[in-house]
Amino acid sequence: MPKRLWLKQPLAILAQDAGNGLVIEGSRIVEVLGTNQGPTQPVDATFDASRHVVLPGLVNTHHHFYQTLTRAHPSAINKELFPWLQALYPIWSRLDPDTFRIAVRLALVELLLSGCTTAADHHYLFPASLKDAIDIEADEAKRLGLRMTISRGSMNLSQKDGGLPPDSVVQDADTILSDSERVLNLFHDRSEGAYTQIALAPCSPFSVDKKLMQDSAALAARFDAPLHTHLAETEDEDRFCESVYGCRPIELLEETGWLRPRTWLAHGIHFTADDCTKLGRHGVGVCHCPTSNAVLASGFCRTRELEQAGAPLGLGVDGSASNDSSNMLEALRHALMLNRLHYKSASAITHFDVLRWATEGSARCLGRSDIGQIAPGKQADLALFTLDELRFSGSHDPLAALVLCGAHRADRVMVGGDWRVVDGMPVGIDLVALREAHTKAAEKFRD
């Protein structure tokens, strides 16, 4: 990449007063140019962006990469969350380092092609054959050049303890906390422009005990690391918490020290108005997962109430076995449609709202102020889209067209000033070979 690059005269751009594009120097955006402005200093190269709609790189705040191996699995189709999990846990217990690595690689490439530049993956399955899952994820993200918040998940409450997962995929608390500290020391980078960060992520109230929630919060605080978990996803979860802990999920968070700005939650469907107020007061983020919530018939997230309360609101594709896709653009469109249906208003949620959730809002969930916006000083993470497919013919508002007309693939993607997708293809990746390898790996999980 040249030292100073001018992305000139974009067709449209999600930034204020940036009609003549932006200038990138190294890994950062250094200038945003109004319609009649040029760069204040000489540039080394110019990229003609007149065919492109330019967005900040999309930020995915919840995923389960390993699930790309079990999409549309016959054992789990047409089931709600608890029976869905019970059907798939024994199948997922077959994960090993080789199959896991190819699952991670495919998920990252899928996300990248949809314009995603930062991804958070929640990995909580650790069968005996897969002890170094976090190391594998860090390695694959580094190879592809994406930013990642890798959530070191955990489960220590199995069926014999009254939990949901089988014994074969859980670990004891000492093993969990020891490995969590190891990966924090190895990979957690709190510097500006970091490529790899670690979050601690007990899976859910029905798969970990209260003490592990407390100990994970204490360890995360030592390292200034985020906390993440599934919460308030289903009514079954509410009933479980009341039965086992004598409280609702949000009260469990409060009792275990999780109500803090470095926490973000996945789903948040069954929050009350008071819950939303409490989360906003403590700065706890929520990742909205519209596609998964629809597939599993879990319900609607109170997106407007959460934002009005001050809670950071982000967007996630969720796992590829409950979404069956790793496409952030698809999540944007589903978020728009489902929220309009939920709030019974075509004007209640706009394309600007869902674009904000997928960029600036998601960055806030991850505790990052250096990504998610096109502005001077921010990291040069960008997603560029063309509107030359039949689906866009006749569209008049380029930014709205990305969401309303169903864009699904970026033409170019930049992470930290480096092109990672060029002409719709990921740099350095053979897509045919990747698909063949992934298909072969998925055979292990067929029955």
pLDDT at 206: 87
Among residues 174, 189, 107, the alpha carbon closest in space to that of 140 is found at 107
Are 232 and 266 in contact, with CB atoms under 8 Å apart? no
Tell me the C-alpha distance between 131 and 167, whole Å. Answer: 15
Among residues 111, 117, 108, 106, the alpha carbon closest in space to that of 58 is found at 117
Among residues 335, 364, 362, the alpha carbon closest in space to that of 348 is found at 335
Are 154 and 180 in contact, with CB atoms under 8 Å apart? yes
Please name each of the domains of the chain with its CATH number. 4-54+378-426 (2.30.40.10), 58-365 (3.20.20.140)
CB neighbour list of residue 331: distance below 8 Å, 6 or more residues apart: 60, 289, 290, 291, 315, 316, 317, 323, 358
Are 290 and 339 in contact, with CB atoms under 8 Å apart? yes
pLDDT at 163: 81
Give the count of beta carbons closer than 10 Å to the beta carbon of residue 179. Answer: 18
pLDDT at 320: 84
Give the count of beta carbons closer than 10 Å to the beta carbon of residue 14. Answer: 21
pLDDT at 446: 92
Q: What is the pLDDT of residues 215-236, one digit of tens each?
A: 999 999 999 999 999 999 988 8
pLDDT at 1: 66
Note the helical H segments in 188-282.
210-223, 235-244, 249-255, 273-282
Which residues of the chain, if any, have pLDDT below 70? 1-2
